[in-house]
Structure 1
Amino acid sequence: MKLLVTGGAGFIGSHLLELLNSDKNYEVVVLDNLSSGFRENVPQGMRLVVADIRSQEIEALFQKENFDAVVHLAAQTMVPYSIEHPDEDCEINLAGLINVLENCRKYRVKTVLFASSAAVYGNNENVPLHEDLALMPMSFYGITKMTSEHYLRVYHELYGINTVVFRFANVYGERQGEGGEGGVVSIFCKLLAAGKAVTVYGNGEQTRDFVYAGDVAAAIKAGLAARGYQTINVSTEHETSVNQLLGAFAEVAADKLEVRYAETRQGDIFRSALSNARLKEILAVTPQMQLKEGIQKTYHDYVKRGK
């Protein structure tokens, strides 16, 4: 199977490429503009095309390569940035997606896998959140992800493209940047590695669903065999409080852990976890990484890279 992975030189993409590189059934081409990705995240021998998903030059790539499937990870992922720059967020996340989808239509790509987000749910207290709930995003980033899902659905209905929309929970792991939705883990890594205090807004009992990037990669790979149109959460279905997250960090950086509590920030979601029943049922994937081990891997990788 010949695959195009957009945004493949980024954080989640690097874990997917690592997994696919070990399977000779896949020929992978990576498309990335390297605005937040890195060449070293692309395995040796795997082709990297440096280009923007919004560019018309990518048509030549589709025309030449005859891809079987596209994994679309390229995106603007930072919620605060989307609030400050809604025009750019829209241009990258929507116009970029449409450019990719039009090339998929023209050159008869059979399958598209898309990285959506828990941000589409907004502040919904029906935890764990399941895929059939009404969507009410609270940021422009969430809006572009929700709208992208509709574009994908209609491209499936009109042109028969197999589509899997993955709604990621808070993804963390090695090579993670300091932006994006799982950024609290990398922010804690940065502060701890520098011997600085960690600030927690609120009492630390607010929860998130932290899913390891390697488990996300396994879900994406499994999704390549899916047919029709599917919307699937990728999550642990487990609520982890910020205090519990700090407990995991304490075991790997105990001598450096200093915590300060501050007032709750307006607009912050208090509870979040996504149901993973559909992930297990449709793709037969169950996230395996335990938080303690995952945090250990992530922190040691951060220190090793000297960020």
Structure 2
Amino acid sequence: MQSIYVTGASGMIGSEIAADLVHRDPTFNTTAVSRRPCPTLGADHPAHKQVHTVFDGSWLAPQDTDATILHCAGLANPRVSFSNFAVLAHEHILPHVEMLEALLARGWRGRLVFFSSGGTVYGNALELPIREDHPKAPISMYGLHKLILEHAFAQLAEDRGFELVILRVSNPYGSMVSKPNQGVIPILIKALLRDEEFQIIGDGHAERDYIEISDLIAAVRNVIAFETREPVEIFNIGSGERTSLQDLIATLRKLTGHDLKTVHSPSKVDVQSNVLDCSRAKNALGWTAKTSLEQGLGKLLERMDVHYHQG
């Protein structure tokens, strides 16, 4: 039985992946690892291992030296700011490297799947859609920290002999697990359902790539089964659809029949437009996103509408 560990299992991506693997696939021995409870598995679930820190690697069982580790732990908000780079490096780069070094010291030589950010590592696109070989020039601390971790993990994979798969994920949505002010789509829907004012940062015309959570989970399943050809494999994971904030608002208006109160404010640090070319994932993994934006928003709107009326 293949052992799979999901770090960051209290966050949106990690918790959704962990629940899918635990509930839908008994052929995997899945362990969800996080400092806080995993919201999709519930309290005291035997598949969840709550730890003081994920970064010491002590959660890895001695026999699981060939385990697949889905590394979702880390910063969740791309708009997070830091006073200086030293703080970012000390708090959000070094711990990840130390975790990997600890795992290697315990004899692990399996597969690491690192969830990077297709929305921030490339910076302002020279051409759309963006391929994996596009120049990387992040304009935010969040994108910089993801890119540095990509390089650090890749160097260790080459030197120490484990498999690394980097997933540059676009903007996932569709989960009920989210922190306050995390993700524009749930914030938009909450404002709509509560008849509250929504703040548009910038002019609302910059295009983004949004991927429904079930499509992301399907990609992860294909990555688990994928036979790597190189020590380091990199894939864009997104819908490939161009969607502006104005498009999101128009689609929600169409689905609900309700208008949305909006106010505008300037954007300080944000990429202009970002849409991913996912043809490499299609060719190598046999995966493509199947959920249209209207379908995905409809599913999430229904779930959130029920949630808030019951709450």
TM-score by length of 2: 0.87
Using the TM superposition, give the Cα deviation of residue 235 of structure 1 relative to its aligned residue in structure 2, in angstroms. Answer: 0.8
**8 Å contact from structure 2 (residues 32, 38) kept in 1:** no
Matched, 1:230 2:233: yes
1:154-183 per-residue CA deviation (whole Å, 9 max, x = no partner) reads 111111211100001111112242568x71
Which structure 2 segments of 5+ residues have no match? none
- The one-letter amino acid paired with 2:242 is E
User: Does the 8 Å CA contact 2:4/2:29 hold for their aligned counterparts?
Assistant: yes
1:101 aligns with 2:104: no
Matched to 1:143, the amino acid is: L
Residue 267 in 1 paired to residue 301 in 2?
no
Partner of 1:113: 113
- SS in structure 2 of the partner of residue 250 of structure 1: helix
Judge conservation of contact 1:67–1:109 (CA < 8 Å) in 2.
Answer: yes
Q: Describe the shift of the 1:250–1:134 C-alpha distance in structure 2 as closer, same or farther (beyond 3 A).
A: same
Q: Per-residue CA shift, 1:100-132, capped at 9, x if unaligned?
A: 211332222310000000211111231111111
Question: Does structure 1 residue 17 correspond to structure 2 residue 42?
Answer: no
Query: Identity over aligned residues, as a percent?
Result: 21
Amino acid at match of 2:294: K
- State the superposition RMSD in angstroms: 2.4
1:288 match: 290
Tell me which moved more, 100-109 or 18-27.
Answer: 100-109
Matches within 5 A, 1:136-151: 136-151=137-152
- Who is 1:75 aligned against? 74
Residue in structure 2 matched with residue 171 of structure 1 by the alignment: 172
Superposed displacement of residue 203, structure 1: 4.1
d(CA) in 2 for partners of 1:288, 1:100: 35
Q: Is the 8 A contact 1:10 1:41 kept in 2?
A: no
Higher fraction of helix: 1
Q: Distance in 1 between matches of 2:55 and 2:208?
A: 36
Aligned equivalent of 1:250? 253
State the 1:92 CA deviation: 4.5
Q: Could you list the runs of 5+ residues in structure 1 that have no partner in the other structure?
A: none
- Are residues 189 and 90 of structure 1, via their aligned partners in 2, closer, same or farther at CA, if it must alter by over 3 Å? farther
Q: Deviations over 1:161-212 (max 9, x none)?
A: 11100001111112242568x7111210221122113333444322110111
The AA in structure 1 aligned to 2:254 is: E
Instruction: Identify the residue that residue 50 of structure 2 maps to in structure 1.
Output: 50
Task: Report if the CA contact (8 A) 2:191-2:260 is conserved.
Answer: no
Deviation per CA, 1:192-238: give whole Å up to 9, x if none: 12211333344432211011111111111211234231011001111
Equivalent position of 1:32 in the other structure: 34
- Give the conservation status (yes or no) of the 8 Å contact 1:178–1:187: no
1:239 is aligned with what amino acid? Answer: R
1:44-102, Cα deviation, whole Å (9 max, x unpaired): 8542122254553x426443654511110000122332335755543443223213211
Q: Is 115-124 or 170-179 further displaced after alignment?
A: 170-179
The residue aligned with 2:156 is: 155
Q: Secondary structure at the match of 1:124?
A: coil
Tell me the distance in 2 between the aligned counterparts of 1:73 and 1:52: 16
- What's 2:5 paired with? 4
Taking a change above 3 Å as real, the CA distance of residues 305 and 109 of structure 1, as seen in their structure-2 partners, is farther
Aligned twin of 1:300: 302
- CA apart distance, 1:259: 3.8
Report the count of equivalent residues: 301
The answer for the alignment partner of 2:188 in structure 1 is 188
TM-score by length of 1: 0.88
The 3 A distance-change label for structure 1 pair 24 and 85 is farther
Please give the secondary structure, in 2, of the residue aligned with 1:105.
Answer: helix
Work out the CA distance in 2 between the residues paired with 1:252 and 1:84. Answer: 41
Change (3 A) 1:282 1:179: farther
